[in-house]
Amino acid sequence: MRATYMYGAGDVRIADVGDPALEQPTDALVRVVLACICGSDLHPYHSLVATPAGVPMGHEFIGVVEEVGGEVSTLRAGDLVIAPFAWSDGTCEFCREGLHTSCRTGGFFAAGGVGGGQAEAIRVPQADGTLVKVPVAEDSALLPSLLTLSDVFGTGYHAAVRAGVNPRTTVTVIGDGAVGLMAVLSARRLGAERIILMGRHKARTDLGLEFGATDVVAERGEEGVARVRELTGGDGSHAVLEAVGYRAAYDQALGVVRPGGVISRVGVPQYADAPIGFPSLFGRNITLTGGPAPVRAYIETLLPAVLDGEVEPGKVFDRTVSLEGVPAGYRAMDDRKVLKVLVRP
């Protein structure tokens, strides 16, 4: 089959590789119908050291089950399924607590011997726990929106849930990428009435306004912090949803969070050190939370609104490519010419 591999920074190619096969009785084989390129795929695109064998890419996909192992009981060939970006058994104590990304027998796609989703087909471990069957046809217009449940919508929702967003919280979202926009949509769904979106790409912040943002702050750094403070009566936001991952975004979060507030990070941190002392977090009783979103935990919660068209998170996709177009898709996202690329293998 054809599959996307990265061989080093900026070096994405489509390779002929062996077809995936069932390895464990809990596996399923899935033919990929829709996949996409994630903002987090751009991190290795910037920094991956040369890897002659290449690494498989892609962790967001919807597909059709082709074959299941002997211990898979809830799925059969022909089922259309959403895959969360982490696979999990759904039964261990972490899964039961809703933290599927810490599953005792789980893992992440495109890692540890499991292939990537930017491919024609993929082996899905722990299929019963991982895959969610959806009652729509393969050619449904809902598919792009359903695909956001494999990562960005669930990740934005996780940011808002971890921050305790509710109708009484003022929210600031840092970042106008797909996850930031989904954090806006999620905060709105959780009842927030004041949602300030910090971003400077007008097409994206316009979509953010459509998703529920009430204010847009295009300024960054100290200027951006001052603007958010001005909008919040000088105090800052109860909840700050950080969907970027760079140190500058953390500093911005510190600047706009209100005493007693929460900074919830879902942008994969590209830094290891940042202030947590008296002047930053401690003195103002700030909570710092966040991490890889257990999106599997949120699919059933978010699915109905997508199925009945109440929300249309698939609007974050502004380009569609075939598998052969994936390398150009990475370039376009990296050049900020495109918000998020949909892949139809």
Contact residues: Zn ion, CB under 5 A: 88-89, 92, 95, 103
- How many angstroms separate the CA atoms of 284 and 295, rounded? 31
Of 60, 44, 31, the C-alpha closest to 293 is 60
Q: Which residue is nearest to Zn ion (CB)?
A: 103
User: Which is closer to Zn ion, CB of 101 or CB of 205?
Assistant: 101
User: What residue spans of the chain are helical by DSSP H?
Assistant: 42-47, 93-96, 127-130, 143-147, 152-162, 178-189, 202-211, 221-231, 247-256, 299-307, 326-334
Q: Please state the closest distance from residue 72 (CB atom) to Zn ion, in A.
A: 16
Q: Which is nearer to Zn ion, 48 or 92 (CB)?
A: 92
The whole-angstrom separation of Cα 251 and Cα 24 is 45
Nearer residue to Zn ion within complex by CB, 263 or 297: 297
Please state the closest distance from residue 246 (CB atom) to Zn ion, in A. Answer: 31
**Nearest residue (CB) to Zn ion, 105 versus 214:** 105
Rg value, the chain, Cα:
20
CA–CA distance, 97 with 41 (Å, rounded to integer) = 28
For residue 122, what are the contacts with CB-CB under 8 A and spacing of at least 6?
20, 29, 30, 32, 61, 63, 83, 109, 114, 115, 116
Of 86 and 173, the one with the shorter C-beta distance to Zn ion is 86
The distance of closest approach from Cβ of residue 102 to Zn ion in the complex, given in angstroms and rounded to an integer, is 8
* Residue 24 C-beta: closest distance to Zn ion, Å: 15
Minimum distance, C-beta of residue 94 to Zn ion, in the bound complex (Å): 5
Distance CA 229, CA 20 (A): 52
* CA atoms in the 13 A half-sphere facing the CB of 134: 31
Least separation, in Å, of the C-beta of 64 and Zn ion? 25
- Whether the CB-CB separation of 262 and 287 falls below 8 Å is answered with yes
Q: Rank residues 126 and 172 by Cβ distance to Zn ion and give the closer one.
A: 126
